Amino acid sequence: MPNLSIRVDAPRALRPLPAAVEVAAYRITLEALHNVTGHAQAQNCTIRIQQQRTTLTVEVTDDGCGIPTDHHVGLGLTSMRERATEIGGTFTITANPTGGTDVLALLPSGQLDHLQTR
């Protein structure tokens, strides 16, 4: 990891987000970055955050070794998917044919009235 370059591409400020979206975006980004530093053997990683009218896009890409086809889905990938889907978002992880991995979460950036409190 000493040669890993991390680039963040995000706006200086975001419109206010529901707390659940902020937490999901933070935790998904943190887990994806943890996977890059612990498993990817990457030299470059980019974290992109974009806010559209109704969606917050969180994308973490790297140029590492990618996900092996026989990879067992562990707790980290499962928790990222659950965090996105429990607030009505989507989560995908893609191994690039040229190497590296793309993690993409599309999270609703509006009101989350449909969520029940636990």
- pLDDT-based confidence at 2, cuts 50/70/90? low
pLDDT at 102: 96
Q: Give the CATH number of the domain where residue 92 resides.
A: 3.30.565.10
* Count: domains in the chain: 1
Residue 39 lies in a domain: yes
**Model's pTM, two decimal places?**
0.87
Query: How much is the average pLDDT of 52-63?
Result: 96
pLDDT at 66: 84
Residue 57 lies in a domain: yes
Residue 15 lies in a domain: yes
Residue 50 lies in a domain: yes
- Distance (Å, whole) CA 44 – CA 102: 12
Q: Three-state secondary structure along the chain?
A: CCCCEEEEECCCCCCCCCHHHHHHHHHHHHHHHHHHHHHHCCCEEEEEEEECCCEEEEEEEECCCCCCCCCCCCHHHHHHHHHHHHCCCEEEEEECCCCCEEEEEEEECCCCCCCCCC
